[in-house]
Amino acid sequence: MKIISYNVNGIRAALSKGLDQWIADERPDVLCFNETKAQPEQVDAGVFERLGYHVVLNSAERRGYSGVAILSQRPADRVVAGIGDGRYDVEGRVLRADFGDLTIVSVYVPSGSSGDERQAYKMDFLAAFDTYIDQLRIQRPNLIVCGDFNICHKPIDINHPERQEGVSGFLPEERAWLDRFQSKGMEDSFRLFDTRPEQYSWWSYRGGARSRNAGWRIDYHWISSTLRDRVRSASILQSVVHSDHCPVVVEID
């Protein structure tokens, strides 16, 4: 099973840049979109259905904002939107899909870059999401938690880490949250296969950051340790350009 997570920074904008043709060529089994920025009626599901995908969306109440989606070549056995907490579910940030013994959770973690209030919201969301995952793993131990976490975990995951101190996305408390997440038996699938520096998944639109590869690795597939022996590969598709992010991939038996 090939699973791709991709922050498209607006699904309609990405489609205008050839997203559908890329999907047709890549043929993932499951495709998790973040930051769809669209209500269900604004997304032409037929575009994806003609490619052979079942489409499920969880949109924010606010139009043109946030939102996640899961496309799959076979229908999920069960789909659940949100984490059961209205403070965060109004922003359409989490979508769960079960396939046999495997559960895929697509998450779009809030950004805290706009100021203290949103940073506090981000940390509160992370605490609530942590509880949600802990509870989910009791019933569904084989988890893949994928998406845009808006956090660089280690200095290797960000350009010039010495310049990023005090910047949202690389704050000590955010990185410590990922440390705790990992300590509970969740593994960063990409780093099981690739320990090289300068492997990024997001670049600012400013200053030619992408051409200079001045990026951040903030998009992940975190897998539960029960799945480690079933993971075959993980990669970042840096040459794919429909967004300021690029897709990240994991392949699993």
| Residues involved in catalysis | 148
The letter for the amino acid at 193 is F
**116 close to 73: Cβ distance less than 8 angstroms:** no
Q: What is the distance between the alpha carbons of residues 151 and 153, in angstroms, rounded to a whole number? A: 6
Quick count: other Cβ atoms within 10 Å of Cβ 31? Answer: 26
**220 close to 203: Cβ distance less than 8 angstroms:** no
**Residue 92 zone, left/alpha/beta (φ > 0; ψ -120 to 50; rest):** left
Tokens representing 218 are 């903030």
**220 close to 149: Cβ distance less than 8 angstroms:** yes
Kindly state the helix (H) or strand (E) to which residue 78 belongs, with its residue range: strand 78-81
